[in-house]
A = this chain, B = another copy of it.
């Protein structure tokens, strides 16, 4: 049975039973670890995971060399999930509809965050004491910013956005960039490998901070007793305001 599979399902050699079981258990461990995030926070207990799996606690070490490595794997998975959700949302909208792309993007980020509050806290909440994220997390971490940067770059390319402010926003309403800020943003644009004028990048950061700042408050429960209803419409309005501020149409 196991050997019968169409060649386009498994174009290479059929994977060994061992390898398949290994993959399954690896992801089961990660699933249980993520469930633990919710109730216990980022102090994962390997023994509890092993218990849930009905295994000896030492068995986990066949899959992850240490607790921190498991945590790193979770972080990378989560960044990738969030990034993929953001990308998919953006790709569902016609390229020239910049405001709609921004709205689709930001709502997708919010939806993911609300559906996975503990994971969102892992990525954007308090740093985990004693844990230092290795370099492998850097790429996935920036993945969710890509759609936003691409959106802005597309706008510039199509002549829909520029460093000039929208006509009615004069300098009194959007102060000019002081030299050190302009220089820093130029450097950042270079590091991100995008060709964005600094004023536009600054506005992009404003929008991005508003998005994630709002989600930190909402997900971490800071709106409790303040804003209980209509959080969705309020979020939407704030994002529309940011979109207008950036000059998206």
Residues of B within 8 A of A39 (CB): 129-130
Residues of B within 8 A of A121 (CB): 125-127
A175 in the interface, Cβ–Cβ < 8 Å?
A: yes
Question: Measured between alpha carbons, how far is A234 from B191 in the docked complex, in Å?
Answer: 17
A168 partner, pick from B126, B169, B181, B230, beta carbons under 8 A? B169
Residues of B within 8 A of A222 (CB): 124
Main SS class of interface, A: helix
A220 partner, pick from B126, B174, B226, beta carbons under 8 A? B126
Residues of B within 8 A of A174 (CB): 241, 244-245
Could you tell me which residues of chain A, from 114 to 137, have a CB within 8 Å of some CB in chain B? 121-122, 124-130
A237 (CB) vs chain B CBs: closest residue:
B181
CB-based contact A234/B184 at 8 Å: yes
A188 partner, pick from B175, B185, B226, B241, beta carbons under 8 A? B226
CB-based contact A126/B126 at 8 Å: yes
Chain A positions near chain B (C-beta within 8 angstroms): 39-43, 121-122, 124-130, 138, 166, 168-170, 172-175, 177-178, 180-181, 183-185, 188, 191, 202, 205-206, 209-210, 212-214, 216-217, 220-222, 225-227, 229-230, 233-234, 237-238, 240-242, 244-245
**8 nearest A-B pairs in the assembled complex, by CB-CB distance:** A213-B213, A125-B126, A41-B129, A121-B126, A184-B230, A209-B213, A168-B168, A180-B230
Known: A124-B220, A126-B220, A175-B241. 20 other contacts (CB 8 A): A41-B126, A121-B127, A127-B220, A138-B225, A168-B169, A169-B169, A173-B244, A173-B245, A175-B240, A177-B237, A180-B230, A180-B233, A181-B234, A184-B233, A184-B234, A185-B234, A191-B226, A206-B241, A209-B210, A245-B245
